Each structure stands twice: as C-alpha cells, then as structure tokens.
Amino acid sequence: MNEEPLKVRVEVEIRTPHAAELEKAISVDNVDVPQGITISLYHNEENLYIIGECECVDPKRLLTLRNTLDDILVDINAAIKVLETVK
C-alpha cells in the first residue's frame, strides 16, 4: 500500500515597515533550502510573507520544514535589529 504524501503549506505574515529590505536580504539565504521544501517570499508596503511548502511522507520532513522556517525567522529578527539600529 502506497501512502499519499501529506502536502503541508505554512504561511507566515510579518508586519514591518522594512518588508522590501527584508525580502531582498533573506532571499539570498534560500539557496540552501533542503531538497523537497520550497520557500517563497514576497511583500507589500507593510507586510513580509513567507510561504513554506513540502510533501511529507516521512514525519521528519515536516520537522525539516519547521526548522527551515525557524532559521529564516531568526535571520529576519537579526535583520530587523540591524535595520532599526541604522534607522
């Protein structure tokens, strides 16, 4: 019996006046996203959106997605601190 993969999509919305700068800064890091996981970033005037997706046959894959999003959020937090300092 073949199991259908669980399709997981996580959307994160961050309200920030630095959405454009953050998207540009963080997009460079998406080069090393684990295989089978896709990360998309986009913004509007006041929000940065992060979308993480994967097809999970193995529950470990879901943890990998969570860890990848966590890494991105840590990077965003650091970038916000820098932008606030420069401001």
CATH code of the domain in which 11 resides: 3.30.310.50
1, part of any domain = no
Number of domains in the chain: 1
Residue appearing with tokens 């006041």: 46
Is 73 domain-assigned?
yes
Q: What is the pLDDT of residue 2?
A: 65
Query: How far apart are alpha carbons 64 and 5 in whole angstroms?
Result: 15
pLDDT (tens digit per residue) in 17-51? 999 999 998 886 666 788 889 999 999 999 999 99
Range with the largest mean pLDDT of 12-16, 29-33, 53-57? 12-16
pTM of the model: 0.85
Give the model's pLDDT for residue 53.
Answer: 95
Expressed as residue numbers, the domain containing 38 is 6-86
What integer pLDDT is reported at residue 14 of this predicted model? 96
Averaged pLDDT of the chain: 89
